[in-house]
Copies of this chain bind each other. A is one copy, B any other.
Amino acid sequence: MRIGELSRVTGVSLRSLRYYEVKGLLAADREENGYRIYNATAIERVNTIQFYLRLGFSTDEIEGFLNCVMKNKEAFCEEILPMYEQKLAEIDRQLHQLGQIRSNLVERMEAIRREQESKASGQ
Query: What residues of chain A have their CB less than 8 Å away from a CB belonging to chain B?
Result: 54-56, 73-75, 80-81, 84-85, 87-88, 91-92, 94-95, 98-99, 101-102, 104-106, 108-109, 111-113, 115-116, 119
A116: nearest chain-B partner, CB-CB: B75
Given the known inter-chain contacts A75-B119, A119-B75, please indicate yes or no for A102 contacting B112, CB distance below 8 A: no
Pairwise interchain contact A91-B80, C-beta atoms closer than 8 A: no
A87 to chain B minimum Cβ distance, whole angstroms, is 6
Q: Chain B contacts of A55 at CB under 8 A?
A: 101, 104-105, 108
Decide if the interface of chain A is mainly helix, strand, loop or mixed: helix
CA separation between A106 and B74, bound complex, in Å?
Answer: 14
CA separation between A81 and B98, bound complex, in Å?
Answer: 19
Pairwise interchain contact A112-B56, C-beta atoms closer than 8 A: no
A86 to chain B minimum Cβ distance, whole angstroms, is 10
A53 to chain B minimum Cβ distance, whole angstroms, is 11
Pairwise interchain contact B102-A98, C-beta atoms closer than 8 A: no
Pairwise interchain contact A102-B108, C-beta atoms closer than 8 A: no
Pairwise interchain contact A87-B116, C-beta atoms closer than 8 A: no
Pairwise interchain contact A105-B80, C-beta atoms closer than 8 A: no
Q: Chain B contacts of A73 at CB under 8 A?
A: 115
